[in-house]
């Protein structure tokens, strides 16, 4: 009886071991990739496109054989344009779903919500949207533009090519516009612009009554000096803003507007007549004539089954970041975040404007800067671009508290904010 019982126990243990092993094999059969973009709420109009972009890139990679011989499995969650929920959903992706990396966020406040979670759990976040800088984390890769890859070159273009002397810094009232404008104000003053030639204005998300503000802009621009608006206005507030400029007879020739948050997706489906002639600064435009871009557009429209769907800058940033992650994982031979963090520095992949983008030691990438003029079909005609790539700078050279700080996540420094004067690392990121 003891022998039979022992035999049954042994068989049960063997079955359990076999089941456990098969479960491990099944679990290890795919590599999970987290997608953290709002699919509902105010940001869904922009972020749903990025979710679909990631699904397309993952599908294409799987068709090539996956990564490390395994298929990629996308895990999509909806933080619903709710900034604290980004942290909760990020934790869910890492703790519960065991994703190898997260691609997501749009606003800076959503990124800052997720940042302590990916640092605590030592995961990876690829952030694809232009931002205000003043941050560097070993767990975050900033594939959108830093201020020196968008805002500073745009001001240089207005100043040097259009002869602008007076400046309206208009933004939505949150961290990205306020920090960017703080940098721009310091930069303009370093170029000899007087304080009375700088007007700064902030409005809440969704602001719709622009009559008095545009009237103030018009008055500010009537002092006999060439005036321009540098816009960090976000979302649907842009439509009534540009419309009011037209209502008050302000043309792009009189007071040009250069925007940092108006792209093809935002122009799609709206009346672009009030916007024609105004400008935007990005690292990518759909209208760029390059074979790689044409292939990407064809793939996107085929995947989404809509020949009218546009592409935009954050989509290219995901394209760059995803391909960098794939190459770094293959190079490292593992998805272990600590190993990938080291392996990805120096990885170079094609961008969609005909060049190569490289991941820098400060976890920012090299990118060209383009200025585009809005056309009546909702596309941009490139009127200026840098001769080569611009290296993303985590810390502004124009803010007193930042100009002496560098970020370098390579050993032995391994610091996001190293002060070159004090020779001290003051913390992991910001």
Instruction: Say what the pLDDT of residue 427 is.
Output: 61
Task: Note the CATH number of domain 151-259.
Answer: 3.40.50.2300
Extents of the domains making up the chain: 151-259
Query: What's the rounded Cα separation, in Å, for the pair 265 and 308?
Result: 11
Cα 237-141-157 angle, rounded to 5 deg: 50
List phi, psi (to 5°) of 301.
-65, -30
Give this prediction's pTM. Answer: 0.89
Instruction: Say what the pLDDT of residue 234 is.
Output: 83
> Residue 135: CB partners within 8 Å, gap ≥ 6?
115, 142, 394, 416, 429, 430
**Number of CB atoms found within 10 A of residue 363's CB:** 27
Any idea which residue has 């995901």 for tokens? 318
Q: Judging by DSSP bridges, how do beta strands 370-374 and 279-282 pair with one another?
A: antiparallel
Residue 134: left (phi > 0), alpha (psi -120 to 50), or beta? Answer: left
Contact 159, 191 (CB under 8 A): yes
List phi, psi (to 5°) of 298.
-60, -45
Which tokens sit at 29? 């059969």
- Return the biggest CA–CA distance within the chain: 105
Contact 400, 178 (CB under 8 A): no
Query: What's the rounded Cα separation, in Å, for the pair 325 and 338?
Result: 13
pLDDT in tens, the chain (430 residues): 434 444 444 444 444 444 333 333 334 789 999 999 999 987 888 899 999 999 999 999 999 999 999 999 999 999 999 999 999 999 999 999 999 999 999 999 999 999 999 999 999 999 999 999 999 999 999 999 999 999 999 999 999 999 999 999 999 998 999 999 999 999 999 999 999 999 999 999 889 999 999 999 999 999 999 999 999 998 778 889 999 998 999 999 999 999 998 899 888 877 888 889 999 999 999 999 999 999 999 999 999 999 999 999 999 999 999 999 999 999 999 999 999 999 999 999 999 999 999 999 999 999 999 999 999 999 999 999 999 999 999 999 999 889 999 999 999 999 999 999 999 998 644 4
Which tokens sit at 234? 């976000």
Instruction: Say what the pLDDT of residue 314 is.
Output: 96
Instruction: Say what the pLDDT of residue 267 is.
Output: 87
């Amino acid at each position: 009886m003891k022998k039979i019982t022992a035999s049954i126990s042994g068989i049960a243990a063997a079955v359990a071991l076999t089941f456990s092993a098969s479960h491990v094999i099944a679990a290890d059969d795919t590599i999970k990739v987290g997608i953290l973009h709002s699919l509902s709420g105010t940001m869904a109009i922009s972020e749903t496109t990025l979710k679909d972009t990631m699904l397309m890139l993952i599908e294409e990679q799987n068709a090539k054989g996956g990564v490390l011989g395994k298929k990629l499995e996308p895990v999509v969650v909806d933080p619903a344009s709710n900034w604290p929920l980004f942290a909760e959903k990020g934790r869910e992706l890492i703790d519960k779903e065991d994703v190898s990396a997260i691609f997501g966020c749009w606003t800076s406040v959503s990124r800052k919500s997720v940042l302590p979670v990916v640092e605590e759990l030592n995961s990876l976040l690829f952030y694809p949207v232009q931002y205000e800088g003043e941050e560097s984390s070993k767990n975050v890769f900033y594939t959108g533009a830093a201020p020196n890859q968008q805002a500073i070159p745009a001001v240089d273009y207005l100043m040097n090519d259009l002869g602008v002397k007076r400046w309206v810094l208009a933004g939505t009232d949150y961290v990205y516009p306020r920090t960017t404008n703080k940098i721009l104000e310091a930069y303009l003053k370093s170029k000899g612009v007087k304080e009375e030639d700088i007007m700064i204005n902030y409005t809440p998300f969704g602001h719709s009554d622009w009559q008095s503000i545009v009237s103030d802009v018009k008055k500010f621009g009537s002092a006999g000096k060439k005036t321009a608006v540098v816009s960090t206005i976000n979302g649907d507030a842009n439509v009534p803003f540009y419309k009011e400029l037209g209502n008050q007879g302000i043309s792009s020739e009189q007071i040009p507007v250069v925007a940092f948050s108006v792209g093809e997706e935002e122009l799609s489906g709206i009346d672009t007549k009030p916007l024609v002639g105004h400008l935007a600064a990005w690292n990518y435009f759909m209208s760029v004539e390059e074979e790689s871009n044409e292939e990407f557009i064809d793939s996107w429209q085929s995947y989404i089954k809509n020949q009218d769907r546009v592409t935009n800058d954050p989509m290219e940033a995901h394209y760059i970041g995803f391909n960098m992650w794939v190459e770094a994982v293959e190079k490292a031979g593992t998805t272990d975040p600590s190993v990938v963090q080291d392996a990805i520095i120096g990885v170079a992949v094609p961008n969609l404007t005909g060049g190569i983008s490289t991941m820098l030691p400060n976890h920012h990438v090299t990118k060209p800067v383009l200025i585009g003029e809005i056309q009546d079909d909702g596309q941009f005609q490139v009127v200026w671009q840098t001769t080569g790539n611009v290296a993303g700078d985590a810390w502004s050279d124009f803010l007193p508290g930042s100009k002496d700080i560098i970020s370098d996540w390579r050993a032995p420094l391994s610091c996001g904010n190293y002060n070159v004067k004090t020779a001290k690392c003051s913390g992991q990121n910001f």
